[in-house]
Amino acid sequence: MSAPRIEVLRAGLLDTVQDLGRPGWRALGLGLAGAMDPWSLEVANRLVGNPPGAAGLEITLAGPRLRLRRAARIALTGAPIEALIDGAALPAWRPLEAPAGCTLEFGACRHGARSYLAVDGGLALEPVLGSRATDLRAALGGLDGRALHSGDLLPLTPSRLRAEAIRASAWWIDPGHDLDLSRTAVARFVPQHALADALCRRPWRVSATSNRQGLRLQGSALAAEAGGDGVSEPVAPGVVQLPPDGQPIVLMAEAQTVGGYPRLGYVAQADLPRIAQLRPGEHLHFEPVSAERAVALLRAQRAGLARMALAIDARLRSMGHAPGS
C-alpha cells in the first residue's frame, strides 16, 4: 500500500510547508524561517491533536486545490479565506474529520494575507537541520525548498482515523483580539535609534514588494542619512531597518542574520503574527514601548495559548481523540 499523501491538484499563489522554524543555525548564516503567523499555525495544530510545532501548510493570499488520499482530521486558521470541502463550505477554527478522497479548494483570503491548514500527524517530509520549514531564500526544507507546484504529493503520517463522512465539531475557537484583522495594525515597537520617534509619528503603508523576508513600508521618507555607518550588525525577525531610500523594512520570518542598514529598533514578538497578516496597501502604525513591556506582551500571549491548548485538549479527549503534547 502506498504511503498516505495530499495531492496538489492546483497550486495557489504561494503555498509552503511550514512549522515553527529552524532555530540554532544563525552562526552559519541561516535564519529562523517557519510560519509568518506562528500563532495561527500553533492553534491549527492544537485543533487536530498535533504538537504545536508540527508541519502544516501556509497559504498566501490565494490558495490551492488539494485532494486528501487518506481520512484526516484537519483545521483551518489564520486569515479568513474562501474554502470548500467537496463543494461545501469548510468552516475555520475548529477540527473537522474528512474521509479519504475529499477535495479541498481554497480561493482568495477575504481579509488578512495568510491561512494555515493542519492535518492530524502533520506533513511528514524529511526534516532539514531539525525543521520541516520551507526557507525560500535558502532553498531548503519543506518540499525541495520551494513553494508547492501542481502535481506535488505531500506525505502524511499513517492514521487510525476512520471517517466515512465529513463531520465538523460543534465547537470552535474564537481568535478574538489575538488576531483581530478588522482593526488597523499597531506594532508595539522598542526604539533603539534617534529616528524611532519619527517612525512612530508617521503612518505607513505595506508595499507590494513585501515578502517572507520583510514587510517593505511606504510613507513620508525618514532621513536615512542620519544614522548608520554601513557596518553589518546582527538582525532577526521583528527588527526594523532603514535603507537609503528612507522607507523602513520590518524583517520577518526569513530575515537574514546580519545587515548593514541602520536598525531603528524592533517590533514586539507578540505583534509579529498580526503584522504577518498585512496585505499590500494596508496601513501600519508603530507605538513605542519598553523592552520590559515587549516581554510582558509575549508572556501574556504564550499564557493565553497555553490556556487555549488545555481547553482544546479537553474537548478532543471528550471526542475520543488523544491530543499531542
pLDDT in tens, 311-321: 999 999 988 77
Residue 315 lies in a domain: no
CB atoms within 10 A of CB 135: 25
- Kindly state whether residues 30 and 162 are assigned to the same domain: yes
pLDDT number for residue 325: 41
The reported pLDDT for the residue numbered 231 is 76
Residues 41 and 134 reside in one and the same domain: yes
Evaluate if residue 1 carries a pLDDT over 50: no
Backbone CA torsion sign across 59, 61, 67, 73: positive
Q: Grade residue 176 by pLDDT with cuts at 50, 70 and 90.
A: confident
Dump pLDDT digits (tens) for 133-159. 999 999 999 999 999 999 999 999 988
Tell the residue number behind the cell numbers 502544516, with chain if given: 56
Distance of CA 155 to the CA centre of its chain: 21
Cell 488597523: give the residue: 184
Torsion angles phi and psi, residue 206, rounded to 5 = -75, 130
CA 298/CA 128 separation, integer angstroms: 28
- Total number of domains constituting the chain: 2
Give the closest residue to 157 by CA, choosing from 121, 117, 118, 119. 121
Q: Are strands 153-155 and 15-18 parallel, antiparallel or unpaired?
A: unpaired
Assess whether 19 and 118 both reside in one domain. yes
Tens-digit pLDDT profile for residues 49-78: 999 999 999 999 999 999 999 999 999 999
Rounded average pLDDT over 161-167: 90
Asked if residue 268 lies in contact with residue 188, where contact means CB atoms within 8 angstroms, the answer is yes
pLDDT band of 322, cuts 50, 70, 90: low
pLDDT digits (tens, 9 = 90+) for 16-51: 999 999 999 998 899 999 999 999 999 999 999 999
Q: How many Å apart are CA 62 and CA 107, to the nearest integer?
A: 5
Give percent of the chain with pLDDT exceeding 90. Answer: 88
C-alpha cell at 263: 536598525
Residues 74 and 167 in one domain: yes
Query: Is it the case that residue 191 has pLDDT exceeding 70?
Result: yes
Task: Report, as an integer, the average pLDDT of 220-224.
Answer: 88
Picking from 134, 70, 129, 127, the residue whose alpha carbon sits closest to that of residue 102 is 70
Domain boundary among 130, 158, 178: 178
**Strand 283-288 with 185-191, pairing:** parallel
Question: What range defines the domain where residue 279 resides?
Answer: 185-289
Give me the pLDDT at residue 2, please.
Answer: 63
Phi, psi of 16 (to 5 degrees): -135, 150
Same domain, 26 and 146: yes
What is the per-residue pLDDT for 234?
A: 92
* Mean pLDDT (whole number) for 186-215: 96
Task: Of 158, 122, 143, give the one whose Cα is nearest residue 4.
Answer: 158
Same domain, 196 and 263: yes
Cα–Cα distance between 231 and 258 in angstroms, integer? Answer: 10
What average pLDDT does this structure show over 295-304? 97
Query: Alpha helices, DSSP H only, in the chain?
Result: 38-47, 196-201, 272-276, 291-318
Does the pLDDT at position 219 exceed 50? Answer: yes
The pLDDT, as a whole number, for residue 226 is 54
Is the pLDDT score of 225 beyond 70?
Answer: no
Please check whether residue 235 is in contact with residue 256, taking contact to mean a CB–CB distance below 8 angstroms: yes
Q: Which residue has the higher pLDDT, 232 or 243?
A: 243
- Per DSSP, the three-state class of 269 is helix
Domain boundary among 178, 196, 229: 178
In this structure, are 248 and 281 located in the same domain?
yes
